Structure 1
Amino acid sequence: MSPEPDKKGAAVKVPPPLIILVVLLLAYALDYVVPLRIPQSSVLDFAGYALVGISLLLIVITSRSFRRLNIHIEPWKPTTKIITTGFFGISRNPIYLALCAMCIGVGMILHSWWVLFGAIPAALLLYHFVIAREEAYLEQKFGEAYVQYKARVRRWL
């Protein structure tokens, strides 16, 4: 089935990185008001920085896939193809997965349980405001091809 032309995309209203930033800031503010500290450890610091670094690398690599295939990365713009290779062969949402993993890494670096567990509301907000809309859009636009991709590849991991 060839994609139908569209002009609106997935009707996503909030940029996903903004959702993550707001969650991180709220969690950090909550940590300031009601501290819930993780004991300091150089191993924890290293793991946190590694997780943030891996997340950033994953975002850069998957972003290049969009550019290489000449597809809009912004979820509010129309798309012409489904990327099913590379990290998209493992997760339907590798960038959102990386953003949530980044929350965990930042929580480890800041030694804050609030920030670390901020990954949970971040994932829920991403699902509600972004992923559900993208999936409905892609299924409507690409039909059976997207349904088969969804059956083959998990949403997160």
Structure 2
Amino acid sequence: MYESIKQPKIPPPFWFIACAALVYATPAIIPFTAPLWIIAPFILSACGIAAISLWQFHVVKTTVHPLQLEKTSVLVTNGIYRISRNPMYLSLLLLLISWCLYLGSLGGLLGVILFVFIINELHIKPEEKVLTEYFGNQYREYQRKVRRWV
């Protein structure tokens, strides 16, 4: 069923780490200092979103592994998935933004933009094709109601 859909071969945490390294290596074009009270909410939100979204997959006993799309057994649309179709990726994005703020580099936002592009193209779009093939109109209706990121 899924053979016709090109599935990703590199997991999202790799792209997160690569983009975080890019953020670190990017010169501070406009340096600034972000206080902890600005950074902390991004980190706490990222951790909370990740924990809740992983827990929801655990409860319904479906895979969270983005490289094994064929093991998807349940379409999760409740809880945090009523706000974002991809809260796990959103949590990584928030951590990457936190990293930019911590380093105080607006130039590092290039790494954030690259991360969003890579995740959209290499992970989210193939996942959407698999979920549409597997769940059909149920998934299309979910797509219509809930945005990809937020």
Structure 1 contact 71–79 (Cα < 8 Å) conserved: yes
Shift of the 10–67 alpha-carbon distance from structure 1 to 2, 3 Å rule, reads farther
List structure 1 runs of 4+ shifted beyond 3 angstroms.
none
Matched position secondary structure for 1:38 = coil
> Which residues of structure 2 form unaligned runs of 5+?
none
Q: CA deviation at 1:115?
A: 2.6
TM-score, normalised relative to structure 2:
0.89
Shift of the 10–75 alpha-carbon distance from structure 1 to 2, 3 Å rule, reads farther
Q: Aligned pair 1:96/2:89, yes or no?
A: yes
> Which residues of structure 1 form unaligned runs of 5+?
none
Q: CA deviation at 1:37?
A: 4.3
Q: CA deviation at 1:18?
A: 1.2
After superposition, where does 1:75-86 map in structure 2 within 5 Å? Answer: 75-77=66-68, 78-86=71-79
Q: CA deviation at 1:10?
A: 7.4
Matched position secondary structure for 2:26 = helix
Q: Aligned pair 1:73/2:73, yes or no?
A: no
In the comparison of the two structures, how many residue pairs are matched? 148
Structure 1 contact 10–76 (Cα < 8 Å) conserved: no
Structure 1 contact 105–116 (Cα < 8 Å) conserved: no
Shift of the 61–123 alpha-carbon distance from structure 1 to 2, 3 Å rule, reads same
Fraction of identical pairs, as percent: 27
TM-score, normalised relative to structure 1:
0.85
Q: Which residue identity is paired with 2:41?
A: A
Q: CA deviation at 1:11?
A: 2.0
Kindly report the root-mean-square deviation, in angstroms, between the aligned alpha carbons of the 2 structures: 2.1
The answer for the alignment partner of 1:55 in structure 2 is 46
After superposition, where does 1:89-128 map in structure 2 within 5 Å? Answer: 89-128=82-121
Q: CA deviation at 1:89?
A: 0.5
